[in-house]
């Protein structure tokens, strides 16, 4: 009885090697934030553990696996300490957020939908990547991300004239400030949320002060994605009346711009707010419905899995939500690949593989709320 109970953890660990690899890498990332050592130290440690892994792989498999986890642990520390720092952390750029007037030249990296506000006013929120920031006493060409709110008056003759699009190059005056959290217990960490998207400065301006410059700055795939997403929102707004269209926008593409604040509060209080956001749940529903329908149409398993993966990837790219959707998408791909290859489908391995892939791309994702 004792021998059987002692062997059980070993069998479990052997069936989920990626779980231990993920935990080692994540632990290294977490420790790397607090334990700084010279780069050469971690490089030497990586080489030593790597050599140990290679030497032990034929003789002692468990010892080799442990040494491999140590390699990932040290790499996690190394990655989090040598990653590029956010430009806005420098004292030079932080000096622009002292309330003085600045002129920003940049291009739109993310466009928000214009929405009506009180006093016959329309506002549009944009994420700008700066090309140049100029004030009376200083100037900087370091590219940083700034969130700008543009206020304008509605134009009945040309409603689209108040909208700025992805890739537009702009020049406008504003006053920059750092985001601040409310000190109420349990309040939303707005500053941390913006920092997770690379934004640490805020500003606002009027549409008549915005000068649209010539040229386009951005990637063509992202331009196509924003156009497709915009066309979907416009089609929804034509098919449904205002309140229903706002809910459909939020549920299908994750755009809650037009949902009334009171309605958002009602969803939060009833614990059903997840219906209005794009998450792994909706990815799972899309994949399950697609795969089930294809199999009902007598499409073979390989083709059904491939089509389901393509649909899920397209949805993840279209919504551009981030970690929650991509984590679910990666888990789905791994699960379907294991199913097609007739391999055993270990849930812990699938979750760990998706988490490890996300941390390899973006180590800071470990400290996000969804992770």
DSSP string, 51-88: HHHHHHTTT-HHHHHHHHHHHHHHHHHHHHHHSPPPGG
Encode pLDDT of 75-95 as tens digits: 888 888 877 555 445 556 667
Strand-pairing partners, residue 121, are 117
Query: What was the pLDDT predicted at 88?
Result: 43
> What is the per-residue pLDDT for 156?
54
Instruction: Report, in this order, helix, strand and coil percent for the chain, each rounded to 5.
Output: 55, 15, 25
Q: What percent of the chain has pLDDT over 70?
A: 87
Strand duo 121-134 + 115-117: pairing: antiparallel
350: which residues sit within 8 A by CB, 6+ positions away?
Answer: 331, 334, 335, 338
Do 257 and 189 share a domain, yes or no? no
Closest CA to 71 of 93, 89, 58, 52: 52
pLDDT > 90? residue 61: no
Q: Are residues 101 and 155 in the same domain?
A: yes
- Do 290 and 195 have their domain in common? no
Q: How many C-beta atoms surround the C-beta of residue 369 within 10 A?
A: 11
Domain span holding position 178:
87-218
- Rounded to whole angstroms, the Cα distance separating 149 from 137 reads 25
Q: What is the pLDDT of residue 172?
A: 92
Residue ending a domain, choose from 259, 276, 293: 276
Same domain? 7 vs 69: yes
CB 348 within 8 A of CB 17: no
- CATH, residue 173: 2.40.50.140
Number of domains in the chain: 4
Domain boundary among 41, 67, 82: 82
The whole-angstrom distance between residue 44's C-alpha and the CA centroid of its chain comes to 33
Residue 135's pLDDT band (cuts 50, 70, 90): confident
Q: Are strands 145-152 and 199-206 parallel, antiparallel or unpaired?
A: parallel
- Same domain (yes/no): 183, 134: yes
Partner residues linked to 101 by β-bridges: 175
Q: Residue 105's pLDDT is what?
A: 92
φ, ψ of residue 55 in degrees (nearest 5): -75, -35
Burial of 368 (0-12, 13-18, 19+ CB in 10 A): middle
Structure tokens at 328: 């679910």
On whether both 130 and 77 belong to a single domain, the answer is no
Claim to verify: residue 253 and residue 309 sit in the same structural domain: no
Domain final residue, candidates 51, 82, 113: 82
91 lies in the same domain as 73:
no
For residues 208 and 102, membership in a common domain is answered with yes
**Taking the alpha carbons of 340, 341, 344, 346 in that order, is the dihedral positive or negative?**
negative
Per-residue pLDDT averaged across 349-356, rounded? 82
Is 328 found in the same domain as 229? no
State pLDDT tens for residues 138-181.
888 778 889 999 988 876 555 555 688 899 999 999 998 888 87
Q: Residue 104 has which token pair?
A: 């920003």
Rounded Cα distance, 154 and 100, in Å? 29
- Whose tokens are 């812990």? That residue is 348
Q: How far apart are CA 89 and CA 342, in angstroms?
A: 50
DSSP symbol at 34: T
For residue 93, the model assigns a pLDDT of 67
Question: Using CA atoms, how far apart are residues 63 and 57, in angstroms rounded to an integer?
Answer: 8
Residues 270 and 285 in one domain: no
CA 351 distance to own-chain centroid: 18
In a shared domain, residues 131 and 169: yes
Q: How far apart are CA 293 and CA 288, in angstroms?
A: 8
Distance of alpha carbon 151 from alpha carbon 117, whole angstroms: 9
């Amino acid at each position: 009885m004792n021998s059987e109970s002692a062997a059980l953890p070993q069998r479990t660990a052997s069936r989920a090697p990626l779980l231990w690899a993920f935990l080692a890498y994540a632990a290294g990332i977490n420790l790397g934030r607090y334990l700084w050592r010279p780069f050469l130290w971690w490089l030497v440690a990586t080489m030593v553990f790597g050599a140990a892994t290679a030497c032990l792989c034929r003789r002692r498999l468990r010892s080799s696996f442990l040494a491999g986890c140590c390699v990932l642990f040290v790499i996690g520390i190394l990655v989090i300490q040598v990653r590029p720092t956010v430009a806005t952390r420098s004292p030079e750029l932080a000096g622009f957020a002292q309330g003085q007037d600045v002129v920003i030249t940049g291009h739109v990296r993310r466009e928000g939908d214009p929405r009506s506000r009180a006093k016959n006013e329309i506002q549009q929120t944009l994420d700008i990547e700066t090309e140049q920031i100029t004030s009376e006493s200083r100037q900087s060409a370091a590219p940083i991300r700034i969130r700008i709110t543009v206020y304008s008056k509605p134009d009945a003759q040309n409603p689209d004239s108040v909208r700025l699009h992805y890739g537009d190059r702009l020049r406008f005056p504003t006053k920059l400030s750092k985001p601040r959290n409310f000190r109420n217990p349990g309040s939303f960490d707005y500053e941390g949320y913006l920092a997770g998207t690379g934004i640490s400065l805020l500003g606002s301006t009027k549409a008549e002060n915005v000068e649209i410059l010539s040229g386009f700055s951005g990637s063509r795939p992202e331009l196509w994605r924003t156009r497709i997403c915009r066309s979907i929102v416009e089609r929804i707004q034509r098919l449904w009346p205002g309140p229903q269209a706002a809910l459909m926008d939020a549920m299908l593409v994750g755009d809650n711009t037009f949902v009334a604040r009171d309605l958002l509060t009602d969803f939060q209080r009833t614990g059903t707010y997840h219906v209005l956001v794009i998450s792994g749940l909706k990815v799972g529903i899309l994949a399950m419905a697609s795969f089930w329908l294809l199999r009902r149409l007598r499409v073979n398993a390989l083709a059904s899995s491939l089509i389901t993966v393509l649909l899920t990837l397209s949805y993840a790219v279209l919504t551009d939500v981030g970690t929650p959707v991509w984590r679910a998408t990666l888990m789905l791909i791994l699960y379907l690949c294991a199913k097609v290859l007739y391999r055993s489908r270990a849930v812990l391995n699938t979750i760990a593989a998706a988490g490890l892939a996300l941390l390899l791309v973006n180590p800071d994702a470990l400290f996000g709320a969804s992770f």
